[in-house]
Structure 1
Amino acid sequence: MSYIQLESSTAFKKKQYKKKQRKPYRLRKRKIPAVLLAALLPGLGHIYLGLFKKGVLFILALLLDASALLYFSSTGMNINVPLLILLALMIPVIYFYNVFDVLQAADYIISRRRTEQDDAGETVRQRPNPFLAEKGISFGVLLVCGGLLLFFFYQKPAWLAIYMNIYGEIIVAAALISLGIGFLIREMVRSAGR
């Protein structure tokens, strides 16, 4: 090997070594802006990390909660204080869960980029991605329903106030019961599959 080839190969190795040293800093650096954006507005951290559906869902949840809070506090019907307290407490819950979820997602994305190799040089099997969204039209349907709710909360139609006075408790109870049954069925299917 000639002197020039030896010199170029050592320079190449030095560059590769410097790149390996800088890479973890770049990966850690990506977590900080994601958390700062999530602290600024729930959902922005997820959008920064490339998790668009989750980011949009957090923004929609915050908008729906704030709109419902304003709607139920400003309409002429009986003010339901426990409902207003629940809606007001949901804002910090959404906010802090969003920051927690961004931290978890950033850690997962960073660990996914670092592929560990075993002694044979083969890549170790990656853990499943818990941040993948379901495929299908459910996200679009959810956005349309959320948009309709926002529209109705801001338009304040008289029929909605009457409907909420008469059927509000029944609808919430039915939704919670069906949600509980859905979770029960999902757990039964999971335990049967094991």
Structure 2
Amino acid sequence: MAKLLLIAGDFVEDYEIMVPFQALQAMGHDVHAICPEKREGDSVKTAIHDFEGDQTYTEKPGHRFTLNATFTEVEPGDYDGLVLPGGRAPEYLRLNERVLEMVRYFIDSDKPVAAICHAAQLLAAAVSLEGHRVSAYPACAPEVRLAGGDYAEIAVDQAVTSGKLVTAPAWPAHPEWIKQFNALLD
């Protein structure tokens, strides 16, 4: 099975970190969750984003998610794939050059990458998306397009694979997103 790196930050979307972290482990993968400036055993706060008929999602406090690896101690080359959850964390994680270097490594090495929702902000800040069809939360469509990507306007419960990149608009897509990512890991 694969060894996977998951990059998180405070106010990562609750379902978008908890569900893939646990589901990928249940499939037999080894998943290491990290966050800049935090160590194994530290936690990040999560936020629950819900779709309740408003013009955008609502946000509620989520759970605390315990990290199981230390940011400064991981080497991207030791991993077979990358998982990028959404939420508010990508907004500021994209300001961390080491995070961007990690994202670039996986894209440039043509290793599988799963990015959901606002994680498109990390992709767009790190690499050119030219030649990729990329889904994301609709508010991130301009960033995908500015990074040269073909924004995939798909249903909220769907995902799209473009090369080794699997993307989806939000957590309702988990079954498709995780299934497509897992297929790339086999």
Q: Return the TM-score normalized by structure 2.
A: 0.25
* Rg larger for: 1
Higher helix share: 1
Higher strand share: 2
